[in-house]
Structure 1
Amino acid sequence: MKSAKILSFLVLIITCLGCEIQNEVKTIRLGHGLDVSHSVHKAMVKMGEDLLERSGGKLKLEIYPSQQLGTERECLELLQIGSLDMTKVSVGVLENFAPKMKVLGLPFLFRDRQHSFNVLDGPIGEQLLNEGEQYWLKGLGYYDAGSRSFYTMNKPIEKPEDLVGEKIRVMESATAVNMVKALGGSPTPISWGELYTSLQQGVVDGAENNPPSFYLSRHYEVCKYYSLDEHTVLPDVLLIGTYVWNKLNAQEQEWLHASVKESVKYQRVLWAEAEEEALREVQKAGVEVIRPDKSLFAEKVKGIYEGYKDDTEIYPLIKQIQETK
């Protein structure tokens, strides 16, 4: 009788422990470098709310914005060792970890914004998201980061020759470095968090980025010329470390994928609104917005494409992207 009671008690304990494990909330930590007012951060907040609801409270997203956990490169490295679960980085930084991603950083690769969406949302985009898995990085989706253009302190950039002698901040991206060199400028890799001070101190003469980043970073306070040559369409990529991804069961992975997809749709709407607001506000602050002849810049970077003709991995991708409707 006593043995039966002990056995019943043990069964009860095991059952209760099973219930606790089943009801356990899994927290996914997401670190990124953007301000909380940025459309990407807002989309992440929505993703967290959606994920919590979709999973019935079993999956929770914890977001650390504004480089609290490090630069984009540092966050990628934290993902690789399992110290961070998710992050968002620019394709320009990701190419150092997933080499085929550099194709998206090529200047004047896309005909227009819709062409870029068709590529990223299709099989080519899906293929590229999986490129980092051998480096413990799994891509989940692309956030819109618009087109990147030059902004400078001392003179407007109306044609490529105006970049000669100008020190231009670029990301830690060989593709970005080669592009600025091809256009006649002097590329200078500097982390995003250090750029405002570097501009103030004259370490660089300018930089290149999209309108919302130019506005939200307050770089317009020191750079009064913004030249919309729109040389690259570099998306942001949302990633999860494979260490964490493989610990999620199939249902949890499905919940996360669905929440990411919804947040991408939401962010693209916010982004379009943010671009309009950014251009309006920087002009109010005294920034001269220049719309140069883009063909002059496109002509200057043709040599970059020639350099990939013998690359059996990148060149076929370039052709596939150009042929995508």
Structure 2
Amino acid sequence: MMHFTKKLAGALLAATLFTTVASAQTVLKSSDTHPDGYPTVEGVKYFGELLKERTQGRYSVDVYHSAQLGEEKDTIEQVRSGVIELNRVSMAPFNGTVKETIVPALPYIFTSEDHMHKVMDGAVGDQIKAAFEPVGLVVLAFYDAGSRSFYNSKKPIKTVADMAGLKFRVIQSDIFVDMTAALGANATPMPYGEVYSSIETGVIDGAENNFPSYDTAKHVEVAKYYSLDEHTILPEVFVMNKAAFDALTPEDQEIFKQAAKDSVAKQRELWAAKTTESRANAEKLGSQINDVEKQGFIDAMKPVYDKHVKDPVLQKLVEDVRAVK
């Protein structure tokens, strides 16, 4: 009954939004947990600029950054039900509802950011996009989120043995919980916005994320040890409520898709610049950044793959990812 209610709400919203005269402006709401100026926020803003230009002002986008509309778990439900039209979120929270998203979230599945780009821009990315539609979402784009590494307030981590007993915040995803456990540490899933105070008060010892998040969320102030284990290179996903997308004319659907595709190049450019800037800023603030014995981390991931890649569809996807050179 709830599923039907959500579908009905989405359809009613779409009807309200899109049965307007061609000259009227429709303002779409988009959510992001990150602060204004962050590369994902700016990527969606750029999408909105292109959309406004290419539809002669009929559509525009208001980006609600800094978790103004809630944390990712909340906004995923908002966009699925049609309360908001657009959302930029991490792919990991979808692991329970879109099984194909498990593969990009696997530790060390990608060998580099360039490898991730080739995979997500190709047939594997298309297959993952298609898997979102049955849950009421259309994927417009995959955005960069760089590589994620562990950081903490206690000590440098150079080997797997150094992880023992430390408590880390992770994304609310079983893969991330199991990955952390496989390394001998304790995982504490919690919303992104609670991480700073939790490290500061000792509820957790650290977290794992990319340099721009480590910098802009000010985690560098409370966790000075950043270790370059680079366990995941997890793309972000920019989604639209399917009922709203389906209510567009075929011509406007193409405009939306092309504007999103064009925003990817812009977002990647912004991401690369921000990563360099944030790493430099972290070092300036006294962060100790160290390399790790990465092969040990990679070897520890076998039980994670054994548990999460039992489905033949996912096994084939893993093979397809690894075949991309």
Partner of 2:122: 122
Is this contact kept in 1: 2:168–2:188, CA < 8 A? yes
What is the deviation of 1:308? Answer: 4.8
Is this contact kept in 2: 1:51–1:59, CA < 8 A? yes
Matches within 5 A, 1:155-166: 155-166=155-166
Partner of 2:11: none
Q: Which amino acid is 1:301 matched to? A: M
Partner of 2:74: 74
Counterpart-to-counterpart distance in 1, 2:151 and 2:271? 20
Partner of 2:38: 38
String of CA shifts for 1:147-175, please: whole Å, max 9, x gaps.
00000001111111111111110011011
Counterpart-to-counterpart distance in 1, 2:26 and 2:199? 42
Q: 1:313 aligns to what SS in structure 2?
A: helix
Q: 1:23 aligns to what SS in structure 2?
A: coil
Q: 2:229 aligns to what SS in structure 1?
A: strand
Q: 1:187 aligns to what SS in structure 2?
A: strand
Q: Which amino acid is 1:167 matched to? A: K
Distance change >3 Å, CA 309–CA 213, structure 1 → 2: closer
Distance change >3 Å, CA 223–CA 309, structure 1 → 2: closer
What is the deviation of 1:303? Answer: 2.4
TM-score normalised by structure 1 residue count: 0.92
Give the gaps of 5 or more residues in structure 1. 1-19
Partner of 2:131: 131
Q: 1:196 aligns to what SS in structure 2?
A: helix
Q: 1:54 and 2:60 equivalent? A: no
Q: 1:111 and 2:116 equivalent? A: no
Is this contact kept in 2: 1:29–1:84, CA < 8 A? yes
Q: 1:24 aligns to what SS in structure 2?
A: coil
Is this contact kept in 1: 2:175–2:308, CA < 8 A? no
Partner of 2:93: 93
Partner of 1:8: none
Q: 1:207 and 2:200 equivalent? A: no
Q: 1:249 and 2:249 equivalent? A: yes
Q: 1:132 aligns to what SS in structure 2?
A: helix
Give the gaps of 5 or more residues in structure 2. 1-19
Partner of 1:286: 286
What is the deviation of 1:96? Answer: 2.6
Is this contact kept in 2: 1:308–1:315, CA < 8 A? no
Partner of 2:231: 231
Q: 2:220 aligns to what SS in structure 1?
A: helix
Q: 2:195 aligns to what SS in structure 1?
A: helix
Counterpart-to-counterpart distance in 2, 1:305 and 1:192? 25
Paired residues, number:
306
What is the deviation of 1:111? Answer: 1.6
Question: Cα RMSD (Å) of the superposition?
Answer: 1.2
Partner of 1:193: 193
Matches within 5 A, 1:177-192: 177-192=177-192
String of CA shifts for 1:286-323, please: whole Å, max 9, x gaps.
11001112111101112222335642121111111111
Stretch moving more, 242-251 or 218-227: 242-251
Counterpart-to-counterpart distance in 1, 2:56 and 2:84? 23
Partner of 1:15: none
Q: 1:88 aligns to what SS in structure 2?
A: strand
Counterpart-to-counterpart distance in 2, 1:92 and 1:79? 16
Counterpart-to-counterpart distance in 2, 1:33 and 1:172? 14
TM-score normalised by structure 2 residue count: 0.92
Counterpart-to-counterpart distance in 1, 2:309 and 2:32? 35
Counterpart-to-counterpart distance in 2, 1:310 and 1:283? 41
Counterpart-to-counterpart distance in 1, 2:61 and 2:323? 38
Counterpart-to-counterpart distance in 2, 1:311 and 1:80? 25
What is the deviation of 1:258? Answer: 1.2
What is the deviation of 1:37? Answer: 2.0
Counterpart-to-counterpart distance in 1, 2:309 and 2:79? 33
